[in-house]
Structure 1
Amino acid sequence: MNKTLLALSVSLLLATQGCSDSAKTSESVNTSPAPVAEAIEQTASEQYLAMVDAFFNEQLKLEPIYATFVGVNDYNDQFGGALTDQYLTQRHQLNSRYFDEAKSIDVGQLSPALKLSYDMFVYDRNMELIGETYPERFLPINQFYSTVFTMVQLGTGESAQPFKTVEDYQHWISRLRGFIQWIELAQQRMDEGIASKVVLPKVLVERIIPQLDAQLVDSAQNSLFYSPINLLPDGFTAEQKANLTQQYTTVIDAELLPALKGLRDYIQQVYLPKSRASDGWWGLPNGKDWYQHLANSHTTTTLPVDEIHQIGLSEVARILSEMDKVREQVGFKGDLTAFFASLSSEPQYFFTDRQDLIDGYMTIKDQINEVLPQYFDVMPKADYIVKPVEAFREKSAAGASYESPAVDGSRPGIFYINTYNLKAQPKWGMTTLSLHEAAPGHHFQIAIKQELTDVPQFQRFQGYTAFEEGWALYAEYLGIEMGVFNDPYQYFGKLSDEMLRAMRLVVDTGLHAKGWSREQAIQYMKDNSPMAESDIVAEVERYMAIPGQALSYKVGQLTILRLRADAEKALGDKFDLKGFHDQLLTTGSLPMAVMEDKIANWIKAELAK
């Protein structure tokens, strides 16, 4: 499972109601022996719920960092096996055992809510087992998703790892030592990758080196991993503070920094010379089949990559036409290419101060919040804050991202803005970015699912990129109806972001299935958007590192829009937009096929009223 900060989640409000209501009815009405059919139904439900809870608990034990991020602190002292043979065996056994056990459940006796949950669970186990057949373990690090990044973020004391008690501080030292062991094992796995010709493209390896260099400070006190010592609670005694300071200093100076230097030297001296010249997955053994699996996994569809490529080309053409209409509306005299150049370079479209950019997003947050109740019955209890990307990762991080709130409510969601290059953050792109990353995009979908209580735990924290990113892109579309794109330049920003997602369908499949080069992909995006070149380069290299993931946005959005159109047509005057949004948000993340079934059932229920 993906253990990065971008790990997604799942849950259901309707599913919850269907499950809990049937249970209450059974308890209140059954004063005499229950009919056989009801007993079977209850038994099937109990069997399923017990199974998925047991799975989730075993998964947390196997993935202790994941457990920390979902708010379970039982394993905060553990790093996890990650790349070990034992871990890989245990992961396989976990998925195969529960995949087989699920088959023993009488699915026909489950409520509609639990049937959805069951379909999700079986889908996950099947995709995990298929994924095991490809040698992902040989690629343990890249410039975009990195265990090093995750550990730095945890170690700053400003993420999910708690630093409130002396025990918390000692737990982190133990986890840090597990990370040091991982560093050594990662090099062994990369050696296996070299032998198997499963290695990263050269340019991505070159990007990793300065990221590691940034961690190679001259002393523990200058390391980000020392940050918790600067945050020692006032309630600690002087002796406790002194002991922890000494322990952290020793571990960082004597163990961690040498390990990171060893990894950096290995990457530069051993791995870089063995990196590959090809930029796409097609250059790996069995790479095209592997890429088709990744495309299926990320989009939760069975769409052939060639079809996805064609959808992308069609969408790019449509959006270019819409952009040209905006150019005409604002009275720009040059052609669309000149309009792109103007929007990407003229000073009035950019902030010159980092804090002004952050403050601008806070203003947009207030504007959007005013109209949200008109479109949603269900909204998250947790708030979100706007925060700049940390300095240690800003050079290679995306332009914006979202981190979910703490499950226990102790920390709000975080809407990260990369302020490193203000020329990559145009004013006209701010509204759509806020809609996507914060409200009603990722913040709504992810926070709401975490706040659900009456569903199996795995549903609150497991997720599908196609759904979550598709929802966020749908949230951008919804901004039109919400009236937040009255300014044609902000509407152009919406089109620009949509263009990015459409281009991804073309470029990702081009890179990994059609033999495109990095340079060819960069040029295509330059020709079809006003994006800053630095953003384009980062985007293309991201696709090179995590193939298929970028396909999920547009595929997910198009699916949601199609389902909404189907519901509007079928229900006519009975269609309620808030109700449609409830159906999507209160069931968490769903594979596309499962979501289609759910909306179809909702339409039938509405028609029957």
Structure 2
Amino acid sequence: MSLIPNSWHWKELKLALICLLCSLPIVLFFLINFHLAIIIFILWSTLIINIAYFNPISLNILYVRFFFEYLLERPSILSQLRPLGLDLFNTQLSDYSLSFDEHVAKQFRKEFDYLKSFKNKKMSSAQKESYDVIGYFINMNLKREYSDEFRYHSYLINQMMGPQTELISFIVKYHRILKLNDAEAYIIRVQRISKAFDQLIDQQIERRRRNIETPRFVLQRVFDSLHAFREQLQNEPNQSPLMISFIENLNDSICSKEKQNELISRLLKILKTDVLEAHDRLLNVLREDLSNAKTDHGLWKLPNGDKYYKLCLEFHTTTNMSPDEIFELGKKHVERIQNEMRSILKEKQIENWHDFRVSINKLEHNVDQIYENDEESRGKIIADYSQLIDNIDNEMHRYFSPACRPTTKCTVERIPKFKEATSPGAYYFPASLDGKTPGTFFANLRNIGEVIKFKMATLAYHEAVPGHHFQVKFHI
């Protein structure tokens, strides 16, 4: 059995750990003078409580506390990254409730105040760099995601990386089943999809109340994706990725065949009741929103949309450039890149090379740039992406020292079929910090005709190596 009750979150575990640490000096009551032991006990408890809840004496302690509490309050990210091998809450999913948003906003404001109290204190260059990065991260989040004005301006439920599908992907990809307790935790986690969907419903209704309308095209794609998943749950629950992944990870070293069958039966029942009913509830809300959705989309339509747009630009560019300045800069770089590409097209004697759109479109339809439209080609695409990534990775020693290179290779997988229709062409999931789950480049193979050979390298270099595979290494 797990030492941590299934109902516990970080808040409960933190309190238990503090009580344990505060009680350590009790042994002194048997070794030294009673009054001296009382003084030591009070001083020790004050230090522990201050470190845990208030402004610690050290900036490094503040950094560590912020990092670990950020992870420990988000069980999905914790299971994905596993710092120090930790996966303490593997029965829980991340909290999408309105109350958790409010809690995080208060926590960020408090931590930001604590951080600013160190501003004029002496720091090493590494501490100063960390101070600036964490300060920027907290401050921008307080201005955007956790501000009273813009907390609900983002479309939480969306067709790209929305939690309504990412919850499923996370459980399938990152929940490890190495022993019986892990299998039991998997079942509990799947059951908690129902609660998570109810939280998403509350989020959507709150946005509706604040006149934050999700664009029609987003709603339609989310609805279609959820409806398809829901139909599979009803008609073929044994083919659900949640069931297939569970069965694939069970084996005789974990438990007996009889126990495996019992676990599978329990999971099947949860899929046909809790998870199916949760999909129905969310679909009903989205159906209502779809009936009222319009097509005049844009941040300009949201309350104080212009201000929010500028904040988003500031967050993503780390500059104070205006939207017009960024637009003009973008046009300048697009023109430069297109001119470079025209030179390549001319060199390769591509017809109409001077007309960029026409020549690129013609190149995309060249027979040597497309794959045959069959299942065998999907395996070939995965193999070609893997080869591209291996080739560029073998050259990285010329540009990065060993300390700056990830210790694990980047693997390539197909985007799960249930989310292909609304996913981008590719995306990256980072490796766990214990190195046991590799960083993964996910390729979208819904339509082989969308995969153009000369574009694959650019996508692989951006999403995988060096791209996000190296980026995450630097961040950590």
Alpha-carbon shift at residue 219 of structure 1 (Å): 4.5
The structure 2 residue matched to 1:142, chosen from 147, 155, 158, is 158
Distance 1:160-1:393 versus aligned 2 partners, 3 A rule = same
Judge conservation of contact 1:344–1:426 (CA < 8 Å) in 2.
yes
Q: Could you say what secondary structure the match of 2:418 adopts?
A: coil
> Residue 445 of structure 1 aligns to which amino acid in structure 2?
Q
1:283-322 → structure 2 map (5 Å cutoff): 283-322=301-340
1:64 counterpart = 2:75: yes
Q: Secondary structure at the match of 1:406?
A: coil
1:170-569 pair list within 5 angstroms? 170-216=184-230, 217=232, 218-227=235-244, 228-235=246-253, 236-268=255-287, 270-334=288-352, 335-336=354-355, 337-352=357-372, 353-378=377-402, 379-446=405-472, 448-449=473-474, 460=476
Q: SS where residue 368 of structure 2 aligns?
A: helix
What is the RMSD computed on CA atoms of the aligned residues?
2.2
Runs of 4+ with >3 A deviation: none
Inter-CA distance 191–364: structure 2 relative to 1 (3 Å threshold): closer
1:258-291 deviation digits (Å, cap 9, x = unpaired) = 11122123212x1102223222111112111112
Call closer, same or farther: CA 1:362–1:223 in 2, change over 3 Å: closer
Distance 1:144 1:59 in 2: 24
Distance 1:176 1:302, change over 3 A: farther
Q: 1:111 aligns with which of 124, 128, 150?
A: 124
Instruction: Confirm or deny: 8 A CA contact 1:205 1:267 kept in the other structure.
Output: yes
Give, in whole Å, the separation in 1 of the partners of 2:406 and 2:301: 44
Task: Mark the CA change 1:440 to 1:188 in structure 2 (over 3 Å): closer, same or farther.
Answer: closer
Do the aligned partners of 1:138 and 1:192 also contact (CA within 8 Å) in 2? no
Normalised by the size of structure 2, how large is the TM-score?
0.79
Distance between the aligned counterparts of 1:138 and 1:339, measured in 2?
38
Q: Could you report, residue by residue, the CA deviation over 1:438-470 in whole angstroms, capped at 9, with x for unpaired residues? A: 222222232x33xxxxxxxxx62xxxxxxxxxx
- Do 1:61 and 1:67's aligned partners in 2 also have CA atoms closer than 8 Å? yes
**Are the counterparts in 1 of residues 250 and 260 from structure 2 also a CA contact under 8 Å?**
yes
Instruction: Return the alpha-carbon distance in structure 2 between the equivalents of residues 183 and 370 of structure 1.
Output: 43
Amino acid at match of 1:224: P
SS in structure 1 of the partner of residue 296 of structure 2: coil
Q: Which deviations, in whole Å up to 9, do the C-alpha atoms of 1:99-155 show, x marking residues without a partner?
A: 111122255411101110111111122112112221327733011121122121123
Match of 2:42 in 1: none
Q: Is the 8 A contact 2:408 2:435 kept in 1?
A: yes
Q: Structure 1: give runs of 5+ residues left out of the alignment.
A: 1-43, 450-458, 461-609
Q: What displacement does 1:226 show? A: 1.4
Instruction: Give the whole-Å Cα distance in 2 for the aligned partners of 1:150 and 1:351.
Output: 29
Structure 1 residues 67 and 366: CA distance shift in structure 2, 3 A? closer
Q: Deviations over 1:342-388 (max 9, x none)?
A: 11222221121122222222332343244322222232211112222
Partner of 1:542: none
Does the 8 Å CA contact 2:161/2:423 hold for their aligned counterparts? no
Q: Secondary structure at the match of 2:185?
A: helix
Q: After the TM superposition, which of the residue ranges 429-438 and 405-414 deviates more from structure 2?
A: 429-438
How far has the Cα of 1:325 moved from its partner?
1.4
What count of residue pairs does the alignment treat as equivalent?
Answer: 403
Separation of aligned partners in 2, 1:360 and 1:333: 27
* Contact kept in structure 2, 1:226 and 1:248, CA below 8 Å: yes
Per the TM alignment, residue 163 of structure 1 is displaced from its structure 2 partner at its CA by: 1.7
CA distance in 2, matches of 1:245, 1:321: 58
Bigger radius of gyration: 2
Q: Secondary structure in 2 aligned to 1:386? A: strand
Pair 1:128–1:370, CA change in 2 (3 A): closer
Q: Distance in 2 between matches of 1:57 and 1:360?
A: 38
Q: Name the CA shift for 1:182/1:315 in 2 (closer, same or farther; >3 Å).
A: same
The structure whose RCO (Cα within 8 Å, separation 6+) is larger is: 1
Q: SS of the counterpart of 2:141?
A: helix
Deviations 1:179-237 (A, max 9, x none): 31221232233223223220111111111111102211224323222121343122112
